[in-house]
Amino acid sequence: MTQLDPFYLIVGDVAQLERLVPLGVRLVQLRIKSLPEADVRRQIARARDICTAHRARLVVNDYWEIALDLHCDFVHLGQEDMDSADLAALRRAGVRYGLSTHDEAELERALALGPAYVALGPVYPTRLKQMKWAAQGLDRVRDWKARAGATPLVGIGGLTPERLPSLFAAGAASAAVVTDIQQAPDPEARCREWLAATREYLR
Ligand SMILES: Cc1ncc(COP(=O)(O)OP(=O)(O)O)c(N)n1
Ligand SMILES: Cc1nc(C(=O)O)sc1CCOP(=O)(O)O
Ligand SMILES: [Mg+2]
């Protein structure tokens, strides 16, 4: 079973990854939206090299074929991504995958696919993107933890350092974040706060 770091940083481009990973981030997702594929490929290759140099684990969002091509070893897939991804090819190549879930049917589907983790969101309201799900809340995190068994659970959506104690108490293994760091007046300082706030949940 994959041991997940409790702090799961999600960045929108490799420039942000390059600024934040050296602070001590151990688990980072590159989540690029709306860029030509050649640029995406360049950014993923650079992110892979930075993460290798800093002994951080890179998770490539969406672009599983490029991840395979570039010998990255971890991807994140949403429910629609799963429809088109070749999970058998990923497994053959030793690429692990984390999967998004938002309701019971999605969780059942995800768990049947042998994921490295399942993510539940949005735990709190998120400003990052429009979603058809209302905030799931902490009871739902507890329920997901019970259903997921040994599969690690990632909480995502509206998370802040202040919300972490109750998230981890409810059973999450890791907390994923975009906006609270990306939109902070000083993202480096906020990232350090996240590192400090999650350290005690390292297992
Ligand atoms: C850790 C984590 N959880 C959920 C998501 C969302 O994935 P998805 O539903 O495919 O949406 P996009 O992020 O691709 O817009 C994620 N990326 N990471
Ligand atoms: C990208 C994403 N996926 C979610 C899901 O529930 O699947 S919630 C979410 C946004 C998380 O970002 P923030 O920390 O900015 O709220
Ligand atoms: Mg996706």
Query: Which atom of ligand 2 is closest in space to residue 159's alpha carbon?
Result: 14
Indicate the pLDDT class of residue 203, thresholds 50, 70 and 90.
Answer: confident
3-state class (DSSP) for residue 25: coil
Please report the domains of the chain, with CATH numbers, ordered by start residue: 7-199 (3.20.20.70)
What pTM, to 2 d.p., does this model score?
Answer: 0.98
Vertex 195, ends 197 and 190: CA angle to 5°?
90
- Mutation test residue for ligand 2: of 129, 162, 174, 183, the one with most atoms within 8 Å of CB: 129
Which amino acid is present at 174?
S
Indicate the pLDDT class of residue 60, thresholds 50, 70 and 90.
Answer: very high
Proximal ligand: closest to the CA of 119? 1
Q: Are 200 and 175 in contact (CB under 8 A)?
A: no
- Mutation test residue for ligand 1: of 11, 31, 83, 103, the one with most atoms within 8 Å of CB: 31
Q: Answer yes or no: is pLDDT of 3 > 90.
A: no
Q: Is the CB of 4 under 6 A from ligand 1?
A: no
pLDDT score of 1: 60
Which residue has the CA at smallest separation from atom 2 of ligand 2? 157
pLDDT digits (tens, 9 = 90+) for 67-123: 999 999 999 999 999 999 999 999 999 999 999 999 999 999 999 999 999 999 999
Q: Answer yes or no: is pLDDT of 2 > 80.
A: no
- Tokens encoding 170: 């409810």
Calculate Rg over the CA atoms of the chain: 16
Whether the CA torsion 11, 114, 56, 143 is positive or negative: it is: positive
Mean pLDDT of 170-179: 98
Mean pLDDT, all residues of the chain: 97
